[in-house]
Amino acid sequence: MFKPCIVVPVYNHEHAIGAVLDGLLRHGVPVLLVDDGSNADCAAVLDALAREHAAKVTLVRLPHNQGKGAAVLAGFRRAAELGYTHVLQIDADGQHQTGDVPVFLAQAAAHPQAIIAGHPIYDESVPKARLYGRYATHIWVWINTLSLDIKDSMCGFRVYPVAPVNALAARRHIGKRMNFDTDILVRLFWDGAQVINLGTRVSYPSDGVSHFRVWRDNVLISWMHTVLFFGMLPRIPKLLARKWQAR
């Protein structure tokens, strides 16, 4: 059975979330908005959107800001409770093309055990420091998976099967902030998940709000790569065997 929903983590994106939600609802897929402790203005906008689209929108509210990863995982838990098999994760700031949702879901339906991971195709709006800085993470991910199977581990537009994500989150800590997208993708890959990369156009961001905190998030990401590296070492035989079998 393939029963998808869309999870959107929201933190103070009151100016962008309305347009993002309109774009998503055109595809007829239920949407879970996860309010990650937003301010009063954003919370009011989310309440209004949930009332207006009550048949298709579920609002999940966290009591205080916990980070993007925590919000996404809260969405996964609620998705499981509601009986959904797959979650399409997309950011709330309008940087992703909601028109690509059917393409991502079609790939997920054809490969229900795989992760469909967005591979960004940037326009001129992308900050050059962010663009070039991503390559450090790309290299570490290739090292920590001993493969080139993951083209981009930081894109917040992807489809996951629900059960493996919740099982992984139940047995170990996953990065709760901007380290989430990379951390969970590498660990699911270690668990044997196939990753299918799909190109998707990305702009930065429609409301001009970014929650990336240079010092805090770079420290978290650097620590994550260190932990993943030492986690990769005992997995080398398994990862090499998987690579050999794929050939």
Question: Any idea where the domains of the chain sit in the sequence?
Answer: 4-246
Q: What is the pLDDT of residues 113-147, one digit of tens each?
A: 999 999 999 877 666 666 666 778 899 999 999 99
Q: What is the pLDDT of residues 77-104, one digit of tens each?
A: 999 999 999 999 999 999 899 999 999 9
Determine the 3-state secondary structure of 156 from DSSP.
Answer: coil
Q: Are 28 and 53 in contact (CB under 8 A)?
A: no
> Comparing C-alpha atoms, which of 93, 94, 83 is closest to residue 58?
83
**Beta strand residue intervals within 103-157, DSSP E:** 115-122
- Edge-first strand order for the sheet with 57-62 is 57-62, 31-36, 4-10, 86-89, 158-161, 115-122, 195-202
Which stretches of 11-127 are DSSP H helices? 17-25, 40-52, 68-81, 101-110
From first CA to last CA, the distance across the chain in angstroms is: 30
**pLDDT > 70: what percent of the chain?**
91
The arrangement of secondary structure in 4-246, i.e. its CATH architecture, is Alpha-Beta Complex (3.90)
Looking at the predicted structure, is the pLDDT value of residue 65 above 60? Answer: yes
At residue 50, what are phi and psi to the nearest 5 degrees? -65, -40
Question: How confident is the model over 17-24, as a mean pLDDT?
Answer: 96
